[in-house]
Chain A
């Protein structure tokens, strides 16, 4: 293939020379339009520090290089930092072969950069050096245009994937992207978050795309994975105009063969399954028993990071099949899931592997024929004629729970004759909750003290256990105490009394604390005001901004329940109790009620959020929901000093 490619390259030399002299070239500077010289601000973004006036990005998959050209105008002092340029490269692998830079002052005076360009060492190991070309353009003032361009070359043996990220850290006024495809394969592309109807156009053997007035990508609390929110075009090569549908079918067959080869029908597995389950166990019972047995094996995803010398000394054995996994007593999550499938089948059950995307990183794009999207796996089983999903390869995951990042995502079931692309079921709020039960006393000086029983459920318990895996008991206790302290008001002291089993796959994890809060509530001459909604996870703060750019994205649906009992101090009487409250929204509810029984005041509070993804246009409703909840939480009980 390379020889044909070389011939094609040779034939294109003349054309290439002509093309490379275009604006993407590293040979000359184009005249800067008068309007760019005059520009002093970014329309719609007053106070912006700088603007990317023009970007020209050209990728050549025939001659193995790319040209990048940036023209940035400094608009405020803060924007001068863009005159410090750092371009990473790897000598002889991703080399910078041409680099030119200049400054242009508002009056049009241009000055070529002739100063030193340093090769800064980023990292060097053995014979490999990752470096960066660094330089600082001189005499950069507000109004100066900074312009630089470079060519980056890679070895002719590579055909790297191309992704055009259309958003820069600055507002982009105008950008031109182009690619000269490798001719022996068919180039296809996928557009993500581009304006409707906007597609790359073919011109002189290149694909070109122009875009104007693109805002920078800004991060927000509770937003979807950043890649899914950024405008981009992904290119990929395919053979013979293969459709995505056909690609997934072929891929499914290939994965199926690999998996079935690994699973096989092995005597050792049959024996092990017979040992694990009883013949009269119902299917669910059998699955639970096998699940528990597989989870007892060492999960290598929880292995600490080792140096190469430790790896060499540990001499982990490769598993060629599921029987090896069982014999070794350890495996990576996919190996463990494959073993589970084999054992389940040996126990007479229907089980299969599922490949899927983890939505904490990215979403599935069915039209992108790239099996690399599927970074994870789990197991499908049939129970009572219906499919169900289990993840024994995910350490500490309780039976029946799917880690949130694997719910409601695109998935692939490999089949003998193809693939089934489907959507994993979503999980409801019962799969992710926190409950807090408190029994507290208030003294006449405003000191609140007592115990709090905290229970993490489902996803929350799973998260806490996995986060704690690499910590020792001292750190785990401190983390739990800090977690609770973070929900309480300033000055609270928290001491963990006891905690449940850290290293299990139980659905819940409980912990009991002793707490003290001095100066609880506020006092006037005769009264003390206090809200019993002690625990504030900070939702309202996450949505404090009036404007929102991205959708609101939680990990999963979730719930919270508080049950707080407060024994009042002697000599105080209740003057006023807040009314019961309820907020009902399409995506959740909040209910809160106070009750006084003798001198024990009780608050019950329930929050339920039934979804996890909310388009940006729903933001005002979300914001209002959580703000109202906070306001209602803050409604105080009024105690009055005096006779009961």
Chain B
């Protein structure tokens, strides 16, 4: 977007807003159900509670012809200004999930009532990340959404006809007074339920083939630093409904059923055309090993196909045909996997769709559902890759190498850290099944940093550093460097990183090697000077031997922990620094060595002196990607030992 365009765009937005302000006031009348909620008394909540959900209700009506309509109701009492955001209703819809009605109300603490309707809403597609998709949203602002007010809304929406499963999300980051879910089905239909993070409950029959589930007083979902994604901890029920006796259909009673549904949706999409065949020939020419061929094809789709998401219909689940992605040289994750599968097939290598969620823990093997937001590929190589690589051993399909062609910095045989350790749906010709995505062992994610420095008489630390990275540390650094606008920005990023641990830094030079070849080592070499690094106090000179890098996981609270803590990825990092001390000084005291070993991580550091050289070496190993809640107190102790070690200094005394 060019700057003048932005100006005009903003003017246009201002015009829309000013027009919005001209809409005349309508008569206001809250319905009885909202008034009844407003009259009810509430228990006391902690001072931080910004709002309370008085009622969340979904009423799902399945018609004889299979059409499904849902009425959503929600009422919230706002307790604090931080709860005023509850006064915005956002409803997503597309051509398959049309909105039949939308209304909202508020009742203030003085008893004033307001009503707004669908015509008062603005419609926007700005909440999406893709270049284009047919999903839009209606955003309706509820008047008087201030502390003391009750805000409520009701809307009716057609469900997506492609699937007969409903997710009912129970808890929220607000306390919920009452949650109710009603399913009304025509005669001859049945339902089944699955629960996650919540004990299942039998429904009450509230009508002919009508069932109601109800919960009271659900506590607010707590937020804890470093906790798993909310999808991993949120309580919910999946309701599947289907005509009695239907073995497989639009419901998602099992992973097999989800797999079959998805296989049907993607049927015929991963087929090569003559242009794709020619490209496969070109890319694999002269390569006799299957692995080399696969790597060439994977690299092409990874780097040669630009990520662009154009999502239309079926909720954005269906990929474009491989031929159109190849012609455009762009596509989203499922388009890339589809093209890769078509190319691999041409090379005689079987492969499969693997649906994942980018948030670890979002998918549970006990909870079949289309709750995915990303796709990767499983490639059946004739020979298994060595241990440590992202390989899943399938009892029938053999060794499946998992690969994400959307991630431009992660090479074939590896997976980005957020995709590891979760569960995924492997879509096979016969259906689908969940698999556990493997976790890379620590030694696959290596960082080796070596620095040689000299402390000058004025306290300046000067020297050079070489960093070697493999696996996730290499991926992270490549992304950082490749996303920078130019060399000046890369330099600024490095300056920022270094200054956070060495203070003022003068970066003399910085050279990166292995930026584009994703399957090699990433090497960063730089020379720096840090003025006044050594602190002089009286006859003493203090030198902090841990020059660069910070390993500690910072947790600022001491509260008892409910959830595990996500450490991101495993890893094995080594820092070795040799610091030549200035003449005229001798080492009087060294920082104590540290050996901290826990089930989730280890840290060892050691300082020694040989002649005029102060040598500091440390190793930091993360063995698990998640620390169980009961071990988080140990993590706090572990981190405080690391922080203390990182802050410690060697004491030099003038001779």
| A interface residues (Cβ-Cβ under 8 A, vs B) | 42, 45-49, 57, 66, 68, 70, 76-78, 80, 83-84, 86-88, 90, 93-94, 115, 118, 120-126, 128, 130, 134, 136, 138-141, 152, 160, 163-165, 167-168, 216, 304, 306-313, 470-472, 474-475, 485, 490-491, 493, 518-519, 521-527, 529, 540-541, 544-547, 575-578, 627-628, 630-631, 634-638
**B178 on the A face (CB < 8 A):** no
Interface residue total, chain B, C-beta cutoff 8 A: 96
Chain B residues positioned under 8 Å from A312 (CB to CB): 24-25
Task: Check A470–B81 contact: CB distance below 8 A.
Answer: yes
Pick 18 A–B contacts, CB within 8 A, sort by A: A46-B487, A47-B486, A83-B330, A88-B1, A90-B12, A124-B123, A125-B123, A136-B308, A141-B329, A307-B116, A309-B25, A309-B116, A472-B81, A546-B506, A575-B538, A627-B531, A628-B532, A631-B531
Judged by a CB distance under 8 angstroms, whether B568 is at the interface is: no
Taking a contact as CB atoms under 8 Å apart, the answer to whether B122 and A87 are in contact is: no
Checking A115, A168, A471 against B2 with a beta-carbon cut-off of 8 angstroms, the contacting residue is: A168
Q: 1/0 contact trace for B528-545 toward A, CB 8 Å?
A: 000110011111101000
Chain A contact residues: helix, strand, loop or mixed:
mixed
Question: Nearest 4 A-B pairs (CB), nearest first?
Answer: A576-B538, A165-B3, A312-B25, A47-B487
A289 to chain B, nearest CB (A): 33
Interface positions, chain B 493-542, Cβ under 8 Å from A, are: 495-496, 499-500, 503-507, 531-532, 535-540, 542
Given contacts A529-B542, A628-B532, 8 further A-B contacts (CB under 8 A): A45-B488, A66-B4, A87-B1, A125-B16, A130-B9, A307-B143, A524-B592, A544-B504
A86 to B15, CA, bound (A): 20
Interface residues of B (CB under 8 A from A): 1-9, 12-13, 15-16, 19-26, 28, 47-48, 80-82, 112, 114, 116, 119, 121-126, 131-132, 136, 141-144, 146-147, 303-304, 306, 308, 310, 327-330, 408, 482-488, 490, 492, 495-496, 499-500, 503-507, 531-532, 535-540, 542, 554, 556, 589-592, 640, 643-644, 647-649, 651
Nearest A residue to B304, CB-CB: A141
Query: Is there an interface contact between B126 and A546, defined as CB atoms closer than 8 Å?
Result: no
- B4 proximity list for chain A (CB < 8 A): 57, 66, 68, 163-165
Q: Which residue of A lies closest to B145 (CB)?
A: A307
Q: Chain B binding site: helix, strand, loop or mixed by DSSP?
A: mixed
Identity of the chain B residue whose Cβ is nearest the Cβ of A167 in the assembled complex: B3
Give A125 to B118 CA distance when docked, in angstroms. Answer: 10
Contact A78–B483 (Cβ < 8 Å): yes
Q: Are A138 and B329 in contact (CB under 8 A)?
A: yes
Complex-state Cα separation, A493 to B559, whole angstroms: 13
CB distance from B143 to the nearest CB of A (A): 4
- Residue of B whose beta carbon sits closest to that of A628: B532
The contact of B486 among A45, A121, A307, A474, by CB within 8 Å, is A45
Residue among B6, B124, B590 facing the most chain A CB atoms (10 A cut-off): B124
- Nearest A residue to B1 via CB reads A86
B485 in complex: contacting residue of A48, A526, A575, CB < 8 Å: A48
Closest to B144 in A: A310
A47 touches B484 (CB 8 A): yes
Say yes or no: A121-B131 contact (C-beta < 8 A), given A139-B328, A525-B592, A638-B538.
no
Which of A122, A631, A636 interacts with B504 by CB under 8 Å?
Answer: A631
Contact B9 A308 (CB under 8 A): no
Choose from B20, B125, B500 the contact partner of A126 (Cβ within 8 Å): B20
Whether B125 and A130, one on each chain, are in contact in the complex, defined by CB atoms closer than 8 angstroms, is no
- Please determine whether B591 and A631 come into contact, CB atoms closer than 8 angstroms: no
Chain A residues lying within 8 Å of B119, measured Cβ to Cβ, are 126
| Contact assessment for B328 and A47 in the assembled complex, using a CB-CB cutoff below 8 Å | no
Contact among B47, B329, B536, B592 for A474, CB-based, below 8 A: B47
Hey, which chain B residues are within 8 Å of A472, CB to CB? Answer: 80-82, 147
Other-chain residue from B12, B124, B141, B649 in contact with A307 (beta carbon distance below 8 A): B141
Complex contacts, B24 vs chain A, CB 8 Å: 312
Q: Shortest distance in angstroms between A599's beta carbon and chain B's nearest beta carbon?
A: 19
For B532, list chain A residues within 8 Å (CB): 627-628, 631, 634
